[in-house]
């Protein structure tokens, strides 16, 4: 289909264009949006890379798996890396979780200290853990994230809170521990916490005990489980709206001119102007009717009172007779 470019002002572009937002109600706070702005999220692909045989065997071997990933563009400090690594060693030792998968994309093995001191006084070498010598901790560069989250044995997602990650987590019904690092992640973390499906951490004040406490809470709290189930249903329902987005795009391509306002999407109250759109003309008409009706009642009442006075006034005008 040959489509010629159309040049117009930014304001005109907003009036004649469709705007799609990859989010959905239930996650976002309720707000009024222009008619040409459509929420179509979460956009979830029909096909995702499957688990590798190695990861499949690793996850299938245990019932409680913690998955950690901070996206492909974000990383944190060496100090925070050490605290996260110490935390996962501690929770494995305390039998709070069976296995841990950590996807290190932007973080290298050099971003960890050589040794870590655990709370029980033991000292561990990080190199052995980072080289996958620990039987319950798997460190890897690539992880098919959706396949891991969609596995029934994955019980918790420790994430940076990127949009794609939170949508996949909500769609698969996986609670989250969020360590926002930058961008929109701070806002996403607040939304997830408000929805009751996640707890958050502070990258400037990260503590091992805080991580362990929140992981334990997320794994065992019944309200978290209920909220995760509720949001999973919402995510699955709203994920179908991408097909509506495709239909709208196809309609725009076939509607003719690209320089016309999308009147089909503009509600009637917006097309009728301020007075009619807000029913002020109806209110004024009703007010006039009420005032007119009250005026008629007052006029009739006044006439009746005047007539009554005329009837009884002769009796008061007569002088009393002498006996």
CA distances from 183 to 54, 111, 186, 290, 303 (A): 33, 22, 7, 57, 76
Task: For residue 259, give both structure tokens.
Answer: 């320089």
The domain of 253 spans: 10-43+240-266
pLDDT at residue 14 in the model: 61
Q: Tell me if 205 is assigned to some domain.
A: yes
Overall domain count for the chain: 3
Does 88 share its domain with 224?
A: yes
Q: What is the CATH number of the domain that holds 94?
A: 3.40.50.2000
Does 204 share its domain with 251?
A: no
Does 179 share its domain with 310?
A: no
Cis peptide before 280 (omega within 30 of 0): no
Quick one: what percent of the chain has pLDDT higher than 90? Answer: 58
Does 195 share its domain with 130?
A: yes
pLDDT (tens digit per residue) in 144-166:
999 999 999 999 999 999 999 99
Mean per-residue pLDDT, 182-211: 93
Q: Rounded CA gap, 197 and 194, in Å? A: 8
Does 220 share its domain with 201?
A: yes
Does 278 share its domain with 203?
A: no
Does 85 share its domain with 198?
A: yes
What is the average pLDDT value for the chain, to the nearest integer? 87
pLDDT at residue 323 in the model: 47
Does 244 share its domain with 318?
A: no
- The answer to whether the CB of 18 falls within 8 A of the CB of 38 is yes
Q: Tell me if 34 is assigned to some domain.
A: yes
3 state SS of 194:
helix
Does 26 share its domain with 168?
A: no
pLDDT (tens digit per residue) in 235-274:
999 999 999 899 888 888 877 666 666 767 766 666 677 7
pTM of the prediction? 0.78
Cβ neighbors of 139 (< 8 A, separation 6 or more) are: 102, 104, 129, 130, 131, 132
Does 166 share its domain with 128?
A: yes
Is pLDDT at 230 greater than 60 in this prediction? Answer: yes
75 vs 175 pLDDT, higher one:
175
Q: Tell me if 3 is assigned to some domain.
A: no
- The answer to whether the CB of 195 falls within 8 A of the CB of 27 is yes
Residue after which a domain boundary falls, among 195, 218, 238? 238
pLDDT at residue 1 in the model: 47
Does 105 share its domain with 213?
A: yes
Q: Tell me if 2 is assigned to some domain.
A: no
Q: Tell me if 4 is assigned to some domain.
A: no
Quick one: what percent of the chain has pLDDT higher than 70? Answer: 86
Is pLDDT at 133 greater than 90 in this prediction? Answer: yes
Does 170 share its domain with 154?
A: yes
Residue after which a domain boundary falls, among 185, 218, 238? 238
Is pLDDT at 96 greater than 50 in this prediction? Answer: yes
Residue after which a domain boundary falls, among 227, 251, 266? 266
pLDDT at residue 32 in the model: 77
Cβ neighbors of 156 (< 8 A, separation 6 or more) are: 66, 67, 97, 174, 175, 176, 177, 215, 218, 219
pLDDT (tens digit per residue) in 280-313:
888 999 999 999 999 999 999 988 888 888 888 7
3 state SS of 191:
helix
């Amino acid at each position: 289909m040959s489509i010629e470019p159309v040049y117009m002002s930014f304001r005109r572009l907003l009036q004649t264009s469709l705007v799609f937002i990859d989010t959905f109600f239930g996650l976002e706070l309720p707000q009024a949006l222009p008619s040409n702005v459509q929420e179509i999220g979460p956009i979830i692909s029909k096909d995702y890379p499957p688990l590798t045989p190695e990861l499949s065997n690793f996850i299938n071997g245990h019932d409680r798996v913690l998955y950690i990933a901070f996206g492909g563009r974000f990383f944190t400090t060496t100090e925070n890396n050490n605290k996260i690594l110490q935390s996962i060693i501690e929770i494995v030792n305390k039998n709070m979780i069976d296995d841990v998968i950590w996807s290190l994309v932007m973080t290298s093995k050099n971003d960890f200290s050589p040794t870590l001191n655990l709370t029980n006084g033991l000292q561990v070498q990080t190199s052995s853990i980072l080289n996958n010598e620990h039987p319950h901790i798997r460190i890897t560069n690539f992880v098919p994230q959706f396949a891991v989250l969609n596995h029934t044995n994955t019980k918790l997602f420790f994430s940076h809170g990127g949009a794609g990650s939170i949508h996949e987590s909500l769609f698969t019904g996986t609670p989250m521990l969020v360590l926002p690092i930058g961008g929109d992640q701070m806002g996403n973390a607040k939304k997830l916490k408000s929805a009751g499906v996640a707890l958050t951490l502070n990258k400037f004040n990260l503590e091992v005990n805080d991580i362990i406490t929140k992981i334990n809470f997320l794994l065992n709290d019944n309200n978290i489980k209920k909220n995760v189930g509720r949001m999973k249903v919402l995510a699955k329902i709203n994920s179908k709206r991408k097909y509506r987005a495709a239909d709208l795009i196809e309609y725009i391509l076939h509607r003719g001119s690209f320089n016309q306002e999308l009147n089909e999407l503009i509600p009637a109250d917006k097309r009728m102007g301020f007075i009619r759109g807000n029913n002020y003309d109806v209110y004024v008409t009703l007010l006039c009717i009420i005032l007119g009706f009250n005026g008629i009642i007052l006029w009739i009442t006044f006439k009746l009172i005047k007539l009554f006075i005329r009837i009884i006034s002769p009796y008061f005008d007569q002088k009393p007779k002498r006996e």
